[in-house]
Amino acid sequence: MSTPFYVSPQQAMADRAEYARKGIARGRSVVVLQYTDGVVFVAENPSRALHKVSEIYDRIAFAAVGKYNEFENLRIGGVRYADLRGYTYDREDVTARGLANVYAQTLGTIFSSAAEKPYEVELIVAEVGSAPEDDQIYRLPHDGSIVDEHGSVAVGGNADQISSYLDQRHRDGMTLAEALKLAVDSLSRDTNGGERTLTAEQLEVATLDRTRPQQRKFKRILGRQLSRLLDEPATGDAGTAGDAAGAESDAGAGAGESGASGKGAKGGKAGGKDDSEGESGPLL
């Protein structure tokens, strides 16, 4: 009978960490940036069906890199946690901190359990507050630790290089168009300093927008709106144009407040006209 080789616990953990890190670095990156109205998520993702960025709850979103089936599992777990909590208590009682803790526990347990292979994923959980100071971004590496981030974060691929690029250039109070442009610039730099061009089709973009009138602040930026934001000049009038685009999309998504007053005025007029009676019964 052969005796198994002795492997020290340090070595075992280092091997597992190495395995997970390699898996994560193989994928493409996701960057998350704060901008003046919230948090923007930008991922390089040619697939329209498999999302790297998704909604968890009213003010909370999730971004992940690594193995799809593993982070999808975690995402669904997160949605269940959030929905159950919100239903049992109140919608306000679902927080990114609570969710990040649950993820940390799950990832930590899986990482240190010898029976399972470590998850090759790195997650970001972000929550948008009522002001930029209240925004929260948590990064959760494969081993179950939690890092509280501010401003900008990058995970997956050559995250270190992208992070340092973002750290140098990100500032508070950027508009959506500026933040998006910075994110795309950072993603399009490859390891040896060269640049690629990323088109709107290769990007998955979503925001947590605190100015959205709906309760659910998560919104994907798709198609024409995305190309328009990408084409905008990053300086000067970019701010106003970005705001206009935002307002347009909100009206499209329903419950636009500006639409309400207009309809009310119309109602008065229509009622007045109706007094002149048609063949069938008048309304008033």
Residues lying near other proteins in the complex (CB under 8 A) = 49, 51, 54-56, 76, 79-80, 83-84, 86-88, 214, 216, 251-256, 259-260, 263-264, 266-268, 270-271, 274, 279-284
Give SS3 for 185: helix
What whole-number distance in Å separates Cα of residue 16 and Cα of residue 256? 50
**Nearer Cβ to other proteins (29/54):** 54
| Crossing angle between the packed helical segments 96-112 and 68-88, to the nearest 10 degrees | 140
Phi/psi at 130 (5° precision): -80, -15
What whole-number distance in Å separates Cα of residue 108 and Cα of residue 129? 28
CB of 46 to other proteins, least distance (A): 17
10 Å Cβ neighbour count for 182? Answer: 23
**Nearer Cβ to other proteins (8/261):** 261
What whole-number distance in Å separates Cα of residue 164 and Cα of residue 158? 11
With contact defined as beta carbons under 8 Å apart, do 182 and 34 qualify? no
**Nearer Cβ to other proteins (247/253):** 253
CB of 228 to other proteins, least distance (A): 20
Phi/psi at 35 (5° precision): -130, 180
**Nearer Cβ to other proteins (81/111):** 81
CB of 25 to other proteins, least distance (A): 27
CB of 275 to other proteins, least distance (A): 9
Distance from chain centroid for Cα 189: 21
**Nearer Cβ to other proteins (24/99):** 99
Identity (one letter) of the amino acid at 42?
Answer: V
CB of 195 to other proteins, least distance (A): 32
Structure tokens at 134: 């209240």
CB of 166 to other proteins, least distance (A): 28
**Nearer Cβ to other proteins (247/270):** 270
